[in-house]
Structure 1
Amino acid sequence: MTATLKFPLYLQLIRWDKPVGTLLLLWPTLAALWIAAEGFPGWHLLGVYVLGTFLMRSAGCAVNDVADRDFDRHVQRTAARPVTTGAVSVREALAVGAALALLAFALVLTTNTATILWSFVALAVAIVYPFTKRFFSMPQAVLGVAFSFGIPMAFASVQGQVPALAWWLLLGNLFWVVAYDTEYAMVDRDDDIRIGIRTSALTFGRFDVAAVMLLYGAYLVVWGVIGWQLGLGWPYALGLLAALAQVAWHYTLIHRREREGCFRAFRLNHWVGFAVFAGVVLGYAVRG
């Protein structure tokens, strides 16, 4: 089958029809970009990070599917993925992932030296993450670092350095990533027990719902304190309140641990990130 005929399979490989992952990466990265620039960062950096986020998330999906292909065939939700079924070969998937990563790196090259150097760390974390499910009881924490690394890179692009503020933002965002990816892991709990994958949902056990709520709370507290210190005022407070209201709603979706409710909570998480991002943008707009 030619590459042209396989193109729809490649789109399936990179989750073209499932943009949630890209949005979960995008909102905290753009929020950090606004904070680093103390307002609108300019069209060049905005374009670099919007397109770069899409490219790296897509590349990550290809690598993840290769790493998990032997596990995915035993999980109802992932059994039809193109690498798992053999519709796309391992070599093809890696080639697609490498091409997308190279395109993202070409965008990074238009920034500065600090961003280029940090991009190698980000790539290393993204590659390592899929394999941590085999030996680490909390692989979601590694994903949290990978999904938060746009934050220090955004600061590097704007300021040429990564101050302590960026790492505090990364820490807060890591709490959020572990929260929503635990919801995701709760969907596959039975399958993961059967095939021996380690996840935060299994590690937290019967305290999984409480842990998710505490992680959400830690995220909002860390980002809330930072916003208060930056003087982002009432618009940012409204954004946090909107995020908090969604978190409360998520509790109603996951507290019974039903697959459909947990998966719905995960899929809608990008609105939590958007609420916080909107608060940042409006906060700087009002502050002038």
Structure 2
Amino acid sequence: MSTVVLIGATSGLGRQAAEQLAGHRLFLIGRDPDRAAALAKRLPDATVIAADVSVLSGVERVAAVISSATERVDVLVNNAGVMTPSRQVSAEGIELNLAVHHLAPWSVTALLLPLIPAGGRIVNVNSEGHRSPMRGGVVRIDPARLEDGPAEFDPFLTYSRSKLANLLYTYELQRRRPDLSVVAVHPGVVRTSLGRQFPRLQVAAIHAFALSARRGAEPVVRLAVGSERPSGYYDRFTPVRSSAASYDEDLARRVWQATAELRPYAGRADHIVDAEK
């Protein structure tokens, strides 16, 4: 039995993954208190935490509860996700895609790293969108300007940039911590409520060929607790090469440093700025 922390556990793919992970010691995190309460009833042996990981105070709450309850985390799954048709910001004023897909995994992982032993796993749920947005084009990141402002915001390109940032982070953390297994996974196009704010016909067209949340959760669960030691990037169950940009080590280091300097993270804690031991 492993101790597993699952971020983004109260709906969609995350809830399905939580149910498939039953039998392990689970810490399940979700933003919505009502969904968290419903999940706690469904999985009474799990510790369910209602917290918004798009803000540092939520991340710190998660870390505090887990640290007080266990001395060891074998697996951390960063699964929280958003997709919005218009630009939104977190309570800290950070563009929401960046806050949820990149800053949340970066800061949650940093705060829980002292609990993750050698051989532990970190699974970041990513997307094939890191290669190219839905409308086509090339995904680029400027470390000097990680956030898309109102003039730069595009719902698909901004989403893709945040996923590329997360993938660059995944590889950089693996280089810094070779004793861990740090992986990213595209679970497939999954039928969830992620794009519920988009026009109904657009969502229906995507859902027509999408996987169920249950099937989308399956590769995430296998990478989290399967017998093999995973590494790199997976398209569902298959290890594949990610985009050329994701392997740019200089860019990854610059994105790491730029992330560490973003408000309100800058100067808050050394273990957030640099996870390297």
TM-score, normalised relative to structure 2: 0.33
Which has the larger share of helix?
1
TM-score, normalised relative to structure 1: 0.32
> Of the two, which has the highest radius of gyration?
1
Which has the larger share of strand?
2
